[in-house]
Amino acid sequence: MATARKFGPAEVAQTLGRQARERAATPAARIWLALGTVYLLWGSTYLGIKFAIDTIPPLLMGSLRFLVAGGVLYAMAARGGRGRQDRLGASQWGAALLIGAALLLGGNGGVILAEQYAPTGVVALLVATAPLWMAIIDRVIFGRRLPPLVIVGLVVGFGGVAFLIGSPGSGHVRLVGAALALAAPICWASGSVFTRHVKLPARPLVAAAMEMLWAGVLFGIASLVTGELGRLHIQSISTTSLVALLYLIVFGSLVGFSAYVWLLRSAGGIILAAVALIVVARNRAASQASARETVSP
C-alpha cells in the first residue's frame, strides 16, 4: 500500500515559487505586467520632468537622460540572447534613429518643452491622446480596421480632452505650450506605429537601447545649437533636479520605455484595444492634477 508523501515547509515554498514563476512566464502575464509598468510609471514622469528642468536646461536634461539609460541598457542587452543571429548593421541603426527621433526627440522632447509653457495637468491630458493618434495613423496609413470599441474610444477620448481643456480648472494655456503638447503625442504615435514596419533589431531591449542612444545624441545636438551649455551654471543645479533626473533615467527610461518597446513588438493589437480604458483613466487623473495647479498668466 502506497503511503502519502509528506512535504515540508521548504518544499511547499519551492513548489509555490516555481508555479508563480511559470505563470509569470506566460505571454499574457508578461503583457499585463508590462502594461501595468507603463501605466503606473509614466504617470509620474510628468512631475519628474517638471522638477528636473527646474534647474537643468531641458534639452540637456533629455540628452543626459537617454545617453545614460541607453548606454546602460545597451551594455546589458546587446551581448545576451540571439546576438549572433541578430546582427546590428546600418539598417538596424538607421531604423533606430528614425524611431528614436519620433518617439523620444519628438514625443518626449515635446513634453519637456511644453511643460515650460503649460500646466503639467494640461500637458498630461494632451499627451494622453497618443493611443488615439496611434489608431488613426494605423487606419489612415496602413489601412488597419478599427474595432467598434476603439472607434467609441476615439470619439469619447477626443471629446473628453476638449471638455477638460476648456474647463475652468485647467488654467491658462499658452498657444505655444498647447502646440508642443499636441505635437508630442502625434510624434509618439507615429514612432509607435512605424516600429512594426521598419527593420529594428529582433531583441526589443536592444532596439530600445539603440533608440535611446540616438535620442541622447539628437538632444545633445539640439542643446548645443540652442546655446544651452553657455547658459548652464553647475552650481545652480538643485539636488531635487538631480534626483528627478535619476528617477527619469531608471524608472522612466530603463524600466518604463523598455516595457513600452517590448509591448509594441509583442502586443500592438492589445494597445489599440485598450484605447478607451487608457484614455478615460488618464483623462480623469490628469484633470485632477490640473485642477490642483495654480498657474500664473
Confidence (pLDDT) at 161: 61
Confidence (pLDDT) at 94: 96
205 and 77 Cβ atoms separated by less than 8 Å: yes
In the chain, what are the domain boundaries?
A: 59-292
151 and 94 Cβ atoms separated by less than 8 Å: no
Confidence (pLDDT) at 158: 66
The pLDDT tens digits for 47-106 are 899 899 999 999 999 999 999 999 999 999 887 666 567 788 999 999 999 999 999 999
Confidence (pLDDT) at 211: 96
Three cell numbers, residue 30: 508578461
pTM score over 0.85:
no
Q: Which of 59, 120, 104, 52 minimizes the C-alpha distance to 210?
A: 104
Residue pointed to by grid coordinates 483623462: 283
Confidence (pLDDT) at 132: 78
Q: Is 132 left (phi over 0), alpha (psi -120 to 50) or beta?
A: alpha
In angstroms, the CA 292 to CA 297 distance is: 16
259 and 205 Cβ atoms separated by less than 8 Å: no
Q: CA–CA distance from 62 to each of 104, 224, 279 (Å)?
A: 9, 13, 26
Confidence (pLDDT) at 153: 67
Confidence (pLDDT) at 126: 81
Confidence (pLDDT) at 16: 41
Three cell numbers, residue 293: 495647479
Find the radius of gyration of the CA atoms of the chain: 21
Residues of the chain under the 70 pLDDT cut = 1-27, 80-84, 149-150, 153-154, 156-173, 266, 268-297
86 and 202 Cβ atoms separated by less than 8 Å: yes
In angstroms, the CA 87 to CA 92 distance is: 8
In angstroms, the CA 202 to CA 104 distance is: 20
Confidence (pLDDT) at 150: 67
